[in-house]
Chain A
């Protein structure tokens, strides 16, 4: 270290060591000498441009095409068609002859082809409606007794509205003895809607006691009448907001039903039509009670009946007349042609069918009465006067004929043919269905589809020879007399509930040919009937007319079948 310090002054040898100072002139801001200047330049080679072009060969267009097959095949006939004229001329007469023959043969063979069609398509259940089933679409937490059928109510009656859209069912019980403490209900479903809630009725009207019958107005689609177990008659207007009730019979009046109202029907009345001029007021209500009374009401003045009858008739062997309990009722209808069906039913001429005063009553005793409703203005006034004075009203008997061969059990169903005035059907708890002509005492046909009770019978409104009977075994038996074989058997049997629970009510839809409703202990089934039971067959009406006058209908049907 020391050595280096000593060596330092050696570099500054020219310095005067005496004062140890070295002066180094500053070069700051002094011009620096550069080496001599020289101009230098660089140069690039000049750019050379060249033009060049390339080219490919020209393109070619080619096309291929196949022959149009269809066009090609059309061409030859034009060529081959020579001689067609001669051919057509030659065979025309032969063809015409055969066409004639075919038409003739068809007429003759028609019954056989019918026999060949024996295999019956089944009916399909399109809706099962019940207000008492679990509502699947809406989870109703406060489900009350109305949701659960705790009173074990059954369908007592079914009715279609005049438009054929809405089906109504009355709920009640048949096994009530004495006082009825069960509430009844009227429920309606509009099946024309896109979605039908099968567990929730569009309208549900609860009644104090069992509702035993209901009937839609024949011209007003929302008016419906019902009869209860204790004899009250109601009229409801379903189109009304709030309380739909339009009328209710007086429960204390002398002229009332004292027992369940078994049947309710609407009857066209000419004088009312003239008086009120409106379609809905042209109809009167006729009700049949189990007490044997037939009462006529004006639905808009429901407090008191317009007139009343009592089913008085002597029991054989006793000359004193006594009252027979009614079990079913049906009015005779003016026959209408099949062709008329499609026409509008709005006019009075067609409604004339319901004007006829003759009606049939099936009784609990098995007898069938033909009755006549001859009420006129004078008798109405008398009746009203008696009511006013609060006298005991003497009711006449409407019975005109009672000697029809009686059933062995209560007659729960009777229906008149819509096509042939004098024909009517009856069914009974003896398990038989009978076809009667009201002009003859012996039944034309006696059929026994089942050993159990039969609760209802009805003619098809569209097929003159078709009818249905509802059985206590859960089956509905459909008959088609056009297709009867040696033995007349049901052509179709509907199993309504699969549980052998009785079917109490049924109704053909008045507008839709293939819709049919049945009501049993569980709810309503709506069926779509096969076309074989809905489309009218040729000669059907003629055959029905023949049926009405034939001595031996079974034989006549067999012959017509095999002709």
Chain B
């Protein structure tokens, strides 16, 4: 079983960064395993981000079969969406952090 406390601690550490709005861990099926967002937002992020990540990865892989995707950052007008994927069969997950870098700096 997952060591819940340890994961929680990691979440807390990430959350303490400037302007972090929320964190989600998504599994290979595009289902949020852990989240700090509310349900609706989580489901949306999970579905959209996992699709996007798979697409991005396939682009990288098609360009060079030996290459692989390591990290994704989507900068939008309001947010910064960061995705750290892991594609190993045994534990395929995506860690998603949504940040508003302008927050807390004003």
Give A contacts to B, CB under 8 Å.
73, 76-77, 80-92, 94-96, 98-100, 102-103, 105-107, 110, 536-538
Contact = CB atoms under 8 A, between A and B. Distances in A.
B86 A81 contact: no
Contact of B14 (A80, A95, A106): A95
- Count chain B CB atoms within 10 A of each CB in A88, A90, A536, A537 and give the residue with the most: A88
Interface string B13-28: 1100111100001011
Interface of B: 1-3, 6-7, 10, 13-14, 17-20, 25, 27-29, 31, 33-34, 70-71, 73, 80, 82, 84, 86, 90-91, 93, 95, 97, 99, 101-102, 105-106
Contacts of A107: 105
Nearest to A105: B101
Nearest to B23: A95
15 contacts: A80-B27, A80-B33, A83-B93, A84-B33, A84-B34, A87-B91, A92-B10, A94-B84, A96-B14, A98-B71, A99-B97, A102-B73, A103-B17, A106-B102, A107-B105
Secondary structure call for the A interface: helix
A537 B80 CA distance: 19
B27 A81 contact: yes
A539 B27 CA distance: 42
Contact of B25 (A76, A88, A90, A99): A88
Given A76-B29, A98-B73, A102-B80, A86 B105 contact: no
B84 A95 contact: yes
B71 to A, nearest CB: 6
A85 B71 contact: no
A536 B102 CA distance: 12
A238 to B, nearest CB: 38
Contacts of B93: 83-84, 87-88
A96 B71 CA distance: 12
B90 A538 contact: no
Contacts of B19: 103
Contacts of B95: 87-88, 91-92, 95
Contacts of A83: 90-91, 93
Contacts of B34: 84
Contact of B31 (A77, A86, A92, A103): A77
B76 to A, nearest CB: 11
Given A84-B91, A87-B95, A92 B14 contact: yes
B31 A73 contact: yes
A88 B10 contact: yes
A181 B2 CA distance: 89
A536 B73 contact: no
Given A90-B86, A106-B102, A99 B20 contact: yes
B13 A96 contact: yes
Contacts of B29: 76, 80
B81 to A, nearest CB: 10
- Count chain A CB atoms within 10 A of each CB in B1, B82, B91 and give the residue with the most: B91
Contacts of B102: 106, 110, 538
Nearest to B86: A87
